[in-house]
């Protein structure tokens, strides 16, 4: 697996960070999460340059209110240092150096990552002289750029990607431990993510890694269960700085969740039983399903509510009602405070991870499909009947099945759902989404 890079764009407000972000990732529209119906902020996107894939973070989108400017700028720079492999620092070529620019620079001096100083708004070559002021920041040669017109952006990316490649060649290749399961813990602030994270580390054998890691290790930890299965776990609560978690805005929490989900095999969606299910819980859970990850719903603070014989059933029903798009996810009721059932998390993670990566033989799969067809006739449309010829699994993680038919337009949503359910009834896909691709047989 080749290394995945992250580039962060920082700078004081209104220097053109978002314009540069859009220029680099292209003009893709904001992604609407059609499951939870929430528009995602485009703070974090994948992009590619010269055949190298990377993720780009626009720290400018992580804004709170105007009166906390300075704190905000600091927070963005800290975020970039903690999360990125390279930092693009944008200043405005049409204005002189400001105190805020200097503030950002001061924080970036501490970063181990390379900082690319970009002087923006230089729309033509005559204006390139404007870059000289910015040498004063002490961050090397500035790159003249026009984010609006695109001038200079290619040169900048060429350089960044070149530097990535060079570093890769010189660095000892990192150990890519494919046997380990990567877990992300996501959820609203204060649902107990960090508490669960800490419990898991304490109850299992923590692995102290001597591999030179990324700065992201600040919130990553590795542990091993009694069977020797290794896990890497990411807490998305926030950047830890000398033991403290930097206070973070809501958008920032979503960004972290998005990044962690992308890297994970299994996602723990944590809900606070004492607070009940909230809209933001659904939004955050939607991030995991968007990426096709295996999911376990962890209901935390189970100690903190009044219970009777029906509580678990009632809460389960409420979750099933609110999280219809996660009907395949097992639910675990835990308490990070009393450690109740925390031990079951790794076991369940192993199970759903297996399901997520499971491969079904075509002959067995087709028997299931044949049985399903016999049980329920295929739909018709305008007098034409859907014919299903055969099915085959084309991918794992998540399991993806191609179903070959006479005409995909004849497939009805409810019939597709029926086939999915039949597959689920015959094979244990608990915890993982499965996808059907309806194809015309050639
Ligand atoms: P995070 O923001 O999701 O990481 O949440 P934290 O782990 O920081 O927990 C938020 C608050 O909830 C803290 O005051 C914890 O002590 C408390 N808390 C966490 N887990 C539990 C639990 O299982 N039961 C109870 N009663 N409180 C909990």
Ligand 1: residue of 243, 280, 336, 340 to mutate (most ligand atoms within 8 A of CB) is: 336
Ligand 1: residue of 185, 195, 301 to mutate (most ligand atoms within 8 A of CB) is: 195
Could you identify the residue written with the tokens 């960090």? 194
Please work out whether the CB of residue 336 comes within 6 Å of at least one atom of ligand 1. yes
| Alpha-carbon distances of 413 from 38, 410, 416, rounded to whole Å | 22, 10, 5
Query: CB of 221 within 8 A of CB of 301?
Result: no
Distance CA 388, CA 391 (A): 8
74 alpha carbon to ligand 1 midpoint, in Å? 27
The reported pLDDT for the residue numbered 27 is 54
- Residue 97 has phi, psi (to 5 degrees) of -55, 135
Sorted by sequence, the CB contacts under 8 Å of residue 125 that are 6+ apart come out as: none
336 alpha carbon to ligand 1 midpoint, in Å? 7
196 alpha carbon to ligand 1 midpoint, in Å? 8
Residues carrying CATH 3.40.50.300, the chain: 5-166, 181-356
333 alpha carbon to ligand 1 midpoint, in Å? 14
| Closest to 25 (Cα-Cα) out of 10, 6, 4 | 6
Q: Which residues does the annotation place in the binding site for GTP?
A: 11-18, 58-62, 187-194, 235-239, 300-303
Each residue's pLDDT, cut to its tens digit, for the chain (442 residues) gives 356 789 999 888 888 888 898 889 885 444 444 444 444 455 778 888 988 889 888 876 544 444 456 777 777 777 778 778 999 999 999 888 888 888 889 888 888 889 999 999 888 777 777 888 899 998 989 999 999 898 999 999 999 999 998 887 655 444 455 689 999 999 888 899 989 998 998 888 776 544 443 334 446 788 988 888 999 998 776 544 444 444 455 666 677 788 888 889 999 999 999 999 998 888 888 888 888 999 999 999 999 999 999 999 999 999 999 999 999 999 999 999 999 999 999 999 999 999 999 999 999 999 999 999 999 999 999 999 999 999 999 999 999 999 999 999 999 999 999 999 999 999 999 999 999 999 998 6
Distance CA 104, CA 90 (A): 10
Order of strands, edge to edge, in the sheet holding 294-300?
205-207, 220-224, 230-235, 181-186, 266-272, 294-300, 331-333
Task: Identify the residue whose C-alpha is closest to ligand 1 atom 18.
Answer: 192
Query: CB of 230 within 8 A of CB of 259?
Result: no
- Topology of domain 5-166 in CATH is Rossmann fold (3.40.50)
The reported pLDDT for the residue numbered 245 is 45
Return the CATH number of the domain spanning residue range 362-440.
3.30.300.20
Residues carrying CATH 3.30.300.20, the chain: 362-440
For 161, the token pair is 């990607």
The reported pLDDT for the residue numbered 263 is 84
For 399, the token pair is 């399991």
Q: What angle do CA 142, 144, 146 make, to 5 degrees?
A: 145
For 240, the token pair is 């830890």
Please work out whether the CB of residue 248 comes within 6 Å of at least one atom of ligand 1. no
The reported pLDDT for the residue numbered 293 is 94
Residue 411 CB burial class (10 angstroms; 0-12, 13-18, ≥19): buried
The reported pLDDT for the residue numbered 42 is 58
- Topology of domain 181-356 in CATH is Rossmann fold (3.40.50)
Beta-bridge partners for 48: 53
């Amino acid at each position: 697996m080749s290394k995945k890079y992250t580039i962060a764009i920082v700078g004081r407000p209104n220097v053109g960070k978002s314009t540069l972000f859009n220029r680099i990732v292209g003009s893709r529209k904001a992604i609407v999460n059609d499951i939870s119906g929430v528009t995602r902020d485009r703070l974090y996107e994948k992009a590619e340059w010269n055949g190298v894939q990377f993720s780009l973070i626009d720290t400018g989108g992580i804004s709170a209110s105007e009166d906390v400017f300075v704190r905000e700028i600091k927070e963005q720079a800290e975020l970039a240092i903690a999360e990125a492999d390279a930092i693009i620092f944008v200043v405005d070529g049409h204005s002189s150096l400001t105190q805020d620019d200097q503030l950002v620079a001061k924080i970036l001096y501490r970063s181990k990552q390379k900082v690319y100083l970009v002087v923006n708004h230089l729309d033509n070559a005559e204006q390139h002289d404007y870059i000289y002021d910015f040498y004063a920041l002490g961050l090397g040669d500035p790159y003249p750029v026009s984010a609006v017109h695109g001038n200079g952006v290619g040169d900048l990316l060429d350089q960044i990607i070149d530097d990535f490649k060079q570093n890769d060649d010189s660095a000892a290749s990192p150990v890519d431990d494919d046997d380990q399961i990567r877990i992300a813990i996501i959820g609203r602030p204060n649902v107990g993510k960090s508490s669960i994270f800490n419990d898991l580390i304490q109850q299992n054998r923590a692995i102290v890694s001597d591999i030179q890691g990324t700065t992201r290790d600040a919130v990553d930890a590795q542990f091993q269960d009694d069977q020797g299965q290794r896990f890497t776990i990411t807490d998305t609560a926030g950047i830890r700085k000398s033991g403290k978690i930097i206070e973070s805005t809501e958008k920032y929490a979503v960004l972290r969740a998005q990044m962690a989900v992308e890297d994970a095999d299994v996602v723990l969606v944590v809900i606070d039983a004492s607070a009940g299910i909230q809209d933001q819980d659904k939004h955050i859970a939607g991030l995991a399903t968007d990426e096709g990850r295996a999911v376990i719903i962890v209901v935390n603070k189970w100690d903190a509510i009044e219970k009777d014989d029906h509580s678990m059933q009632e809460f389960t029903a409420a979750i099933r009602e609110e999280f219809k798009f996660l009907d395949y996810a097992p639910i675990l009721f835990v308490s990070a405070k009393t450690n109740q059932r925390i031990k079951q998390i790794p076991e369940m993670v192993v199970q759903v991870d297996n399901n997520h990566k499971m491969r079904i033989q075509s002959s067995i799969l087709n028997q299931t499909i044949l049985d399903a067809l016999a049980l329920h006739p295929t739909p018709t449309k305008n007098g034409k009947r859907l014919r299903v010829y055969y099915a085959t699994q084309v991918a794992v993680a998540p399991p993806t099945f191609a179903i070959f038919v006479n005409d995909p337009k004849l497939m009805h949503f409810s019939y597709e759902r029926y086939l999915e359910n039949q597959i689920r009834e015959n094979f244990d896909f608990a915890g993982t989404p499965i996808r059907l691709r309806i194809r015309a047989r050639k």
